[in-house]
Structure 1
Amino acid sequence: MGHREDLLMGAKRCLYERGYGRTTARDIVAASKTNLGSIGYHFGSKEALLTTAIIDSFGEWGEELDTVMSALSTDVDPEGDQLERFETACTLLVESFATHRTLWVSAMEAFAQAEHIPEVREQLAAGFEETRRGLVAGIQKLSPNADERTARTIASLVVAMLPGLALQWLLEPEHAPTGADIGEALRVMLD
């Protein structure tokens, strides 16, 4: 691995151990066994490096979600109830918060920084767009009749829900909505 990759791995380690707001450039250098100048050379700033690390981690989480979506597309009747499939997908999303807790904590810290650091905002916005694109593919597997626009609209709803669900789960997991709760709420709203 080169310095760039070492810095990225060190930044991820620091995010998981210390969080976004408490990680210093020196922490990253120590964890990556590189030097301070490498951060500026490869990423421009510590914030850009940390945000890249978060987005890279979301990519890993996205790969896990792709596996879940693939399993759903083979295990769920494509002609079955759309709301039940959405509920199942939401259940799996909520369950993933437990295995990726540190990622979501770091993401919440980064969201707060986005207002003040344009490069963080740009990277996070690009990450949301990438998540939407990935979800579109999964939605079209689950719902073969969904055209691109419909799948993107559903993906946008899921992306809008994710931070709120994650925040509720991080603060009080025993009272956070489950996939079944989300399905029930949608049924009531659509009735």
Structure 2
Amino acid sequence: MGHRADLLEGAKRCLLEKGYARTTARDIVAASGTNLASIGYHYGSKEALLNLAFLKLTEEWGDVLTKRRGEDTDEDGGIPRAPLDQFRDTWERVIGSYERTRSVWQLQMEVTSRIDQDPELRKALIGPQREGRDGLAESMLGIDPEKDPEKARVAGLFCQALLAGVMVQWLMDSDSAPSAQDLTDGLKAVLEGCAS
């Protein structure tokens, strides 16, 4: 790898180990084996590098959600998976990843708390956040954003709100946080309440 890639990997490691606010340029240099001048040369600033590193970490974490995207049939093949099964399966992957990805969840909460103080960070997150909503609508509910963009948009907003709430519950008290089945049963109860 060159200095540019080394810096990005070092910044990702620092974000996971130290968080956004506590990561210094010297930390990144130490983690990447590069030099301070490389940050400015390749990324313009430490903040620009950290913003990109955060986006890359979020993309990688998003792969947990979408690794089975497109598999809309059951294991026997040919029979479409029920939307609630797809919803539960996606949540099982998300919640099942919690122990190994806890630092990413914590980082997302920290970055969210910084939005008001960092306009560049806010700007960097707008596009990926919208793309993430489409991905959530597709992976959790099987809604194709290209075929039905408005349905995907509102479903993605719902899923994103749910995801943020579940993250907070798991970070606060994983023993009482919802399981994938709890979330599925909760969604069923809401749908049944709306139908009556």
**TM (normalized to structure 1)?**
0.84
**How many Å apart are 1:136 and its aligned residue?**
4.7
In the TM superposition, what whole-angstrom CA distance separates every residue of 1:123-173 from its partner, at most 9, and x where no partner exists? 222221231233355468x357x7332233222221222222112112211
Distance in 2 (CA, whole Å) between partners of 1:171 and 1:69 is: 29
**How many Å apart are 1:59 and its aligned residue?**
1.3
**Distance of aligned partners of 1:31 and 1:110 in 2 relative to their CA distance in 1, 3 Å threshold:** same
Task: Please name the residue that 1:132 is paired with.
Answer: 133
Q: 3-state SS of the aligned residue for 2:178?
A: coil
**Greater share of helix:** 1
Letter in structure 1 aligned against 2:73? T
In the TM superposition, what whole-angstrom CA distance separates every residue of 1:2-45 from its partner, at most 9, and x where no partner exists? 22211110001111222222211110011112222222233233
**Distance of aligned partners of 1:104 and 1:83 in 2 relative to their CA distance in 1, 3 Å threshold:** same
Task: Please name the residue that 2:105 is paired with.
Answer: 104
**Bigger relative contact order, structure 1 or 2, given CA contacts below 8 A and separation 6+?**
1
Q: Does the 8 Å CA contact 1:94/1:179 hold for their aligned counterparts?
A: yes
**TM (normalized to structure 2)?**
0.82
The number of equivalent residue pairs is: 187
Which of these residues, 78, 103, 116, is aligned with residue 80 of structure 2? Answer: 78
Task: Please name the residue that 1:89 is paired with.
Answer: 90
**How many Å apart are 1:70 and its aligned residue?**
4.1
Matched, 1:4 2:1: no
Runs of 5+ unmatched residues, structure 1: none
In the TM superposition, what whole-angstrom CA distance separates every residue of 1:62-111 from its partner, at most 9, and x where no partner exists? 2232223345x23374263x334323322322222222111111121111
90-99 vs 175-184, greater mean Cα deviation: 90-99
Distance in 2 (CA, whole Å) between partners of 1:46 and 1:159 is: 28
CA-based RMSD: 2.4
